[in-house]
Structure 1
């Protein structure tokens, strides 16, 4: 299934505006734009590819802001969308949020999955504590 061109364009414009607002450090306004874009995605949201990247972007925002439980919720939503389960970035981010919420066993599972898909490169710009947590399992 594909979104209509009209809906797709509206979603893209809202997300682009959200990106611009993030660049301007207007985080709350950016979140509003991404949530508005998500509202345009038909239900069930988990059936649509657009939801995968909108949920991931929202998770990233909350991860950066150290609101780990909210970030984790968005990443889990992204995981359940098209191609989410095989997306190494989503797996990495879930692993990181689980690590930060002290769910270390689950964290290692997701970090290891990300590693298995992308290798050590996926940890390139991440805090070394995440890779170190799975190093003994590799």
Structure 2
């Protein structure tokens, strides 16, 4: 059973994330990250037990990924995996694979990219640089 946040917390958290998404759309990743971090801080203690933490960590991680801060992006996506519905989420595994690829941890990259492919098929690779799919094709038969 998933626990629910109090309505006022959920509303504020949602508003902050919508503001963060709007800032991402204008490529203001630093300001967006600030909104997402503020949203994360609204969660009660042991914040990793809340499903909202999963998508907030993904949002923060994406801002780091898009600015090529792969160490911080990795931390965010590893946190997301530990939150509800994080493990097995194809998008989270895609980003982990891409981050490991950029850090030249190719075996880990292949593992995570394979998980993304198994969970969502080819379509999950279509919005990003084709180099990730090209790499995966050298490791598994697609």
TM-score calculated relative to the size of structure 2: 0.91
The number of equivalent residue pairs is: 138
Q: Does 1:50 align with 2:62?
A: no
Greater CA drift, 20-29 or 47-56: 20-29
Gaps of 5+ in 1: none
Which residue of 1 is the match for residue 16 of structure 2?
14
Which among 109, 118, 122 is matched to residue 120 of structure 1?
122
Which residue of 2 is the match for residue 134 of structure 1?
136
Structure 1: which 4+ aligned runs deviate by more than 6 Å? none
Q: Does 1:98 align with 2:100?
A: yes
Give, in whole Å, the separation in 1 of the partners of 2:28 and 2:123. Answer: 31
Which residue of 2 is the match for residue 75 of structure 1?
77
Which among 62, 66, 69 is matched to residue 68 of structure 2?
66
SS, match of residue 3 in structure 1: coil
Equivalent residues of 2:30, 2:63 under 8 A apart = no
Q: Where is the helix percentage greater, Structure 1 or Structure 2? A: 1
Give, in whole Å, the separation in 2 of the partners of 1:119 and 1:68. Answer: 24
What is the RMSD computed on CA atoms of the aligned residues? Answer: 1.2
Give, in whole Å, the separation in 1 of the partners of 2:118 and 2:52. Answer: 25
Q: Deviation of residue 32 (structure 1)?
A: 1.1
Gaps of 5+ in 2: none
